[in-house]
């Protein structure tokens, strides 16, 4: 799971550093607000602990052993934001000092394991644990599930990162320059290992540690238990009046992505499978389809289902660019902004509906 | 070997790595005499050059640069082979092994009996992967073997890493060894009291409880460390002494490393 240098292209690494940066910033702001001067010692020892946890060999069912990242357990005890920071720091020390994971791929590793892992673990734990009591066995199951899902989500992200390498980065002879396997091989290869062994290690660790704390010190589980959230919105990441300030970097990242969207038009041709019914009758489009499908000739007639359904709904911006825009890059950016704006509006509407529902209760 | 012994072995391995790195960082060699900032920037540039190269011979050239840096810094190839080359070959080599058969391209050979096609593109892609990973790993290990960790951290300031992060990285590193020792003592004492084999479920309970105890100890430790810091006048601000001095030789070496990296990026396009 710790991606070494050389598996991902420098541009993928740069994108993942950029994707991780706003999360690191938000996490730091949130944790700083609640910990103030405690930040330095707490994060230091917690990062050290994450490092040591990664070295534990955990006994798995079937007699084998495996390593866990500890993302589930650190999210449950520290909350998602502090967990993002502690695991990122542990990964940085692992990569620079112990050579476990690359330097150029550190952003990718932190994105997959610390960020995606912590956020998925938090969401799954909160959803599965619900309002169960701190010592309820439901929390043990929820923790185990959170650890298992989180590590598999991280593995999936890594698999996608590996799988897209041969699509974009090849030498003139067509040999992949970085991770060589396409998505069809990378995803099953990564997921089989994680759905079984690595996932089990995380499951055993998260469930086991929560069960242990239930017996010895249930207070440590309070931070991510909902009843406690209103009193302590800090590390756990509850809503606070200055939320806008702390999530601002995420909005900035979104804006950057929207501005960078025109880069998509630099990619040649149409994405595989995104053909229209008309493409089946155009000679040029047919050649492209065949080239993209390992020289398998497309059917002479457009599939009947596609033909029938294509008349049902016409996108407001067909081909992502309004017809009145002459320059495709500007049209593409406008379409991206429109699309993102629409998504944000729908999310806001859903959020306000949910809030209204909650206040009625 | 059971899980207790395996875990103890990985703890010892980490400590051994750190001790060896510290001892080597004190040796008198080319890299050891350089300003750590020059090393961090120069080696990072070479790693990026190896990562961007689209030609195998350029990656091989960067590897030769890394090897000559190692030899002139008293880092023995035997140590590199044990620490980097063989483990990387075992891990990445196995990952790259099916590539010659799985990547489509010009068929150069067929596996006798099974008839699987071995392609030129697949072979080349496996070589790219292994060469790149070996080169980058050699370079990053060289940095650590020739520089004390505290110096590496201070040098990160050149890359505009925030002071607070550098301080946290430094403290975390120190506490890793304290926690490793604590965990080792805990597991050793448990092992010394164990007769026979534990059941699978007991083994898992023991491992989870060990991590739990370590976690409680760590939270306690963070409170203690905080109190100690407050007692010594800590008010939440961190400062660092920047006592590096660059000599003419540092600038020359920086120019050499930068020129090599730029050359590799140029020829590797």
> What integer pLDDT is reported at residue A349 of this predicted model?
63
- For helices A80-98 and B3-25, the axis angle rounded to 10 degrees is 60
Compute how many other C-beta atoms are within 10 angstroms of the C-beta atom of residue A80. Answer: 28
Give pTM, 2 decimals. Answer: 0.75
> What integer pLDDT is reported at residue A346 of this predicted model?
62
Which of the pair, A330 or A152, is modelled with greater confidence?
A: A152
- For helices A137-168 and A183-193, the axis angle rounded to 10 degrees is 150
CB A235 within 8 A of CB A29: no
Nearest to B99 by CA among B70, B78, B119, B72: B119
Separation of alpha carbons B144 and B142, rounded Å: 5
- Inter-chain touch B208–A211, beta carbons under 8 Å: yes
Reported residue count of chain B is 269
Write the CA distances from B118 to A163, A172, B25, B103, B240, integer angstroms. Answer: 21, 19, 45, 8, 56
- Inter-chain touch A40–B55, beta carbons under 8 Å: no
> What integer pLDDT is reported at residue A268 of this predicted model?
46
- Inter-chain touch A185–B238, beta carbons under 8 Å: no
Mutate to test the interface with B, among A79, A99, A181, A293 (most CBs of B within 10 A): A99
Separation of alpha carbons A92 and B234, rounded Å: 25
User: What ranges do the domains of chain A cover?
Assistant: 10-235, 245-266+321-361, 276-301
Q: How far is A65 from chain B (nearest CA, A)?
A: 7
**Residue A187 parent element (H or E):** helix A183-193
Kindly state the average pLDDT of the residues A287-308: 69
- Inter-chain touch A176–B216, beta carbons under 8 Å: no
> What integer pLDDT is reported at residue A347 of this predicted model?
57
Instruction: Judge whether residue B159 has pLDDT over 90.
Output: no
Per-residue DSSP letter, A225: S
**Complete DSSP assignment for A165-182:** HHHH-B-TTS-BSSS---
End-to-end CA distance of chain B: 48
Mutate to test the interface with A, among B25, B125, B186, B202 (most CBs of A within 10 A): B125
pLDDT in tens, B83-134: 889 988 898 888 888 888 888 888 888 878 787 888 888 899 999 999 999 9
Write the CA distances from A342 to A111, A252, A336, B31, B105, integer angstroms. Answer: 26, 17, 10, 55, 44
Integer-rounded Cα Rg, in Å, for chain A is 23
Token pair 């991770």: residue? A179
**Residue B66 parent element (H or E):** helix B56-72
Token pair 């150029």: residue? A104
Instruction: Judge whether residue A270 has pLDDT over 60.
Output: no
Q: How far is B139 from chain A (nearest CA, A)?
A: 10
SS3 label, residue A335 = helix
Q: How far is B250 from chain A (nearest CA, A)?
A: 22
Q: What is the ipTM of this complex?
A: 0.88
Separation of alpha carbons A267 and A320, rounded Å: 14
Contacts of A57 in chain B (CB under 8 A): 3, 6-7, 10, 207
Instruction: Judge whether residue A18 has pLDDT over 80.
Output: yes
| Nearest Cα residue in chain B from A32 | B236
Mutate to test the interface with B, among A48, A104, A204 (most CBs of B within 10 A): A48
Kindly state the average pLDDT of the residues A312-316: 54
| Nearest Cα residue in chain B from A214 | B212
> What integer pLDDT is reported at residue A117 of this predicted model?
94
Mutate to test the interface with A, among B208, B209, B265 (most CBs of A within 10 A): B208
CB B142 within 8 A of CB B69: yes
Compute how many other C-beta atoms are within 10 angstroms of the C-beta atom of residue A200. Answer: 23
pLDDT in tens, A230-266: 444 444 444 444 444 555 556 566 556 555 554 544 4
Q: How far is A227 from chain B (nearest CA, A)?
A: 22
Tell the burial category of A257 from Cβ atoms under 10 Å away from its Cβ (0-12, 13-18, 19+): middle
**Could you tell me the sign of the dihedral formed by the alpha carbons of A157, A158, A163, A164, in that order?**
positive
Per-residue DSSP letter, B181: H
Compute how many other C-beta atoms are within 10 angstroms of the C-beta atom of residue A62. Answer: 9
| Nearest Cα residue in chain B from A178 | B129
Q: How far is A83 from chain B (nearest CA, A)?
A: 13
Q: How far is A263 from chain B (nearest CA, A)?
A: 20
- The percentage of residues in chain B with a pLDDT greater than 90, rounded to a whole number, is 20
pLDDT in tens, B132-158: 999 999 999 998 888 888 888 888 888
Token representation of residue A18 = 């950029």
> What integer pLDDT is reported at residue A1 of this predicted model?
79
Separation of alpha carbons B92 and A4, rounded Å: 9
Contacts of B178 in chain A (CB under 8 A): 48
List the 240-269 stretch of B: residues with Cβ below 8 A of A.
Answer: none
> What integer pLDDT is reported at residue A261 of this predicted model?
52
**Could you tell me the sign of the dihedral formed by the alpha carbons of B262, A6, B66, B131, in that order?**
negative
Instruction: Judge whether residue A324 has pLDDT over 50.
Output: no
| Mean pLDDT score of chain A | 77
Q: How far is B247 from chain A (nearest CA, A)?
A: 26
Q: pLDDT-derived band of residue A125, with 50, 70 and 90 as boundaries?
A: very high
Nearest CB to B225; choose among A41, A51, A205: A41
> What integer pLDDT is reported at residue A242 of this predicted model?
46
CB A206 within 8 A of CB A73: yes
List the 72-111 stretch of B: residues with Cβ below 8 A of A.
Answer: 83-84, 88, 91-92, 96, 99, 102-105
Number of separate helices (H) and strands (E) present in chain A? 14, 2
Per-residue DSSP letter, B199: P
| B234 in contact with chain A, both atoms CB, cutoff 8 A | yes
| B55 in contact with chain A, both atoms CB, cutoff 8 A | yes
| Nearest Cα residue in chain B from A186 | B95
- Inter-chain touch A59–B126, beta carbons under 8 Å: no
- Inter-chain touch B222–A42, beta carbons under 8 Å: yes
- Inter-chain touch B212–A209, beta carbons under 8 Å: yes
pLDDT in tens, B175-226: 888 888 888 898 888 888 888 777 888 888 888 888 899 888 888 888 888 8
> What integer pLDDT is reported at residue B191 of this predicted model?
84
CA torsion angle A277 A279 A283 A287 (round to 10): -120
Separation of alpha carbons B132 and A293, rounded Å: 30
CB A212 within 8 A of CB B212: yes
Separation of alpha carbons A110 and A154, rounded Å: 10
- Inter-chain touch A98–B208, beta carbons under 8 Å: no
Instruction: Judge whether residue A53 has pLDDT over 80.
Output: yes
Nearest to B102 by CA among A191, A180, A168, A6: A180
Pick from A316-320, B66-70, B199-203: least confident: A316-320
> What integer pLDDT is reported at residue A274 of this predicted model?
58
> What integer pLDDT is reported at residue A251 of this predicted model?
57
> What integer pLDDT is reported at residue B193 of this predicted model?
86
**Which CATH number does the domain A10-235 belong to among 3.30.1360.120, 3.40.190.80, 2.40.30.30, 1.10.1760.20?**
1.10.1760.20
Instruction: Judge whether residue A287 has pLDDT over 70.
Output: yes
> What integer pLDDT is reported at residue A156 of this predicted model?
94
Kindly state the average pLDDT of the residues A195-221: 89
SS3 label, residue A242 = coil
CA A240 to chain centre: 24
Q: How far is B61 from chain A (nearest CA, A)?
A: 16
Which of the pair, A57 or B79, is modelled with greater confidence?
A: B79
> What integer pLDDT is reported at residue A289 of this predicted model?
67
- Inter-chain touch B211–A209, beta carbons under 8 Å: yes
Compute how many other C-beta atoms are within 10 angstroms of the C-beta atom of residue A167. Answer: 12
Which of the pair, A273 or A186, is modelled with greater confidence?
A: A186
- Antiparallel, parallel or unpaired: β A58-59 and A65-66: antiparallel
């Amino acid at each position: 799971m710790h991606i070494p240098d050389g598996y991902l292209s420098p541009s993928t690494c740069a994108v993942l550093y950029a994707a991780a940066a706003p999360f690191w910033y938000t996490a730091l702001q949130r944790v700083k607000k609640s910990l103030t001067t405690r930040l330095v010692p707490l994060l230091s020892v917690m990062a050290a602990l994450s490092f040591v946890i990664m070295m534990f060999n955990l006994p798995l069912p079937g007699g084998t052993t495996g390593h866990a990242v500890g993302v589930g357990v650190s999210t449950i005890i520290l909350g998602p934001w502090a967990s993002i920071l502690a695991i990122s720091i542990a990964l940085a020390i692992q990569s620079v000092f112990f050579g476990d994971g690359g330097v150029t791929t550190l952003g990718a590793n932190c994105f997959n394991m610390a960020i995606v892992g912590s956020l998925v673990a938090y969401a799954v734990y909160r959803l599965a644990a619900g309002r169960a009591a701190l010592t309820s066995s439901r929390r043990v199951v929820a923790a185990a599930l959170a650890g298992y899902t989180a590590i598999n989500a991280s593995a999936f992200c890594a698999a996608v990162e590996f799988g897209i390498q041969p699509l974009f980065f090849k030498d003139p002879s067509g040999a992949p320059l970085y991770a060589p396997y396409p998505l069809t091989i990378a995803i099953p290869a990564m997921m089989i290992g994680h759905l079984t062994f690595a996932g089990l290690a995380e499951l055993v660790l998260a469930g086991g540690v929560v069960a242990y704390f239930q017996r010895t010190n249930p207070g440590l589980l309070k931070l991510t238990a909902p009843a406690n959230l209103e009193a302590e919105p800090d590390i756990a990441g509850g809503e606070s009046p200055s939320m806008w300030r702390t999530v601002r970097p995420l909005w900035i990242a979104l804006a950057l992505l929207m501005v960078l969207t025109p880069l998509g038009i630099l990619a040649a041709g149409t994405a595989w499978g995104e053909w229209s019914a008309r493409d089946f009758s155009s000679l040029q489009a047919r050649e492209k389809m065949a080239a993209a499908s390992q020289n398998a000739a497309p059917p002479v007639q457009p599939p009947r289902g596609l033909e029938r359904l294509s008349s049902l709904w016409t996108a407001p911006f067909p081909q992502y660019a309004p017809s009145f825009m002459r320059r495709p890059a500007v049209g593409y950016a406008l379409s991206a902004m429109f699309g993102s704006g629409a998504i944000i509006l729908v999310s806001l509407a859903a959020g306000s509906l949910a809030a209204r529902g909650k206040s009625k209760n | 070997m059971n899980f207790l012994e395996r875990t103890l072995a990985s703890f010892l391995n980490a400590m051994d790595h750190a001790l060896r790195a510290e001892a080597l960082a004190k040796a008198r060699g080319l890299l050891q005499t350089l300003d750590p900032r020059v090393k961090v920037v120069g080696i990072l540039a070479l790693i990026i050059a190896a990562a961007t190269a689209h030609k195998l011979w350029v990656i091989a050239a960067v590897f030769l640069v890394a090897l000559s840096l190692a030899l002139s810094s008293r880092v023995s190839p035997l140590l590199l082979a044990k620490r980097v080359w063989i483990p990387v070959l075992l891990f990445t080599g196995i990952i790259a092994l099916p590539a010659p058969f799985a990547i489509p391209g010009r068929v150069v050979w067929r596996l006798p009996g099974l008839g699987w096609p071995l392609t030129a593109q697949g072979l080349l892609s496996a070589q790219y992967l292994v060469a790149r990973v070996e080169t980058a790993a050699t370079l990053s290990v060289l940095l650590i073997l020739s520089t004390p960790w505290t110096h590496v951290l201070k040098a990160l300031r050149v890359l505009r890493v925030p002071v607070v992060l550098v301080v946290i990285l430094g403290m975390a590193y120190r506490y890793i060894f304290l926690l490793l020792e604590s965990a080792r003592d805990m597991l050793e004492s448990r092992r010394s009291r164990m007769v026979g084999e534990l059941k699978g479920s007991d083994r898992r309970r023991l491992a989870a409880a060990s991590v739990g105890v370590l976690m409680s100890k760590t939270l306690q430790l963070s409170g203690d460390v905080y109190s100690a810091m407050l007692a010594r006048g800590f008010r939440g601000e961190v400062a660092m002494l920047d006592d590096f001095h660059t000599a003419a030789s540092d600038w020359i070496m920086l120019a050499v490393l930068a020129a090599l990296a730029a050359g590799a990026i140029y020829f590797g396009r």
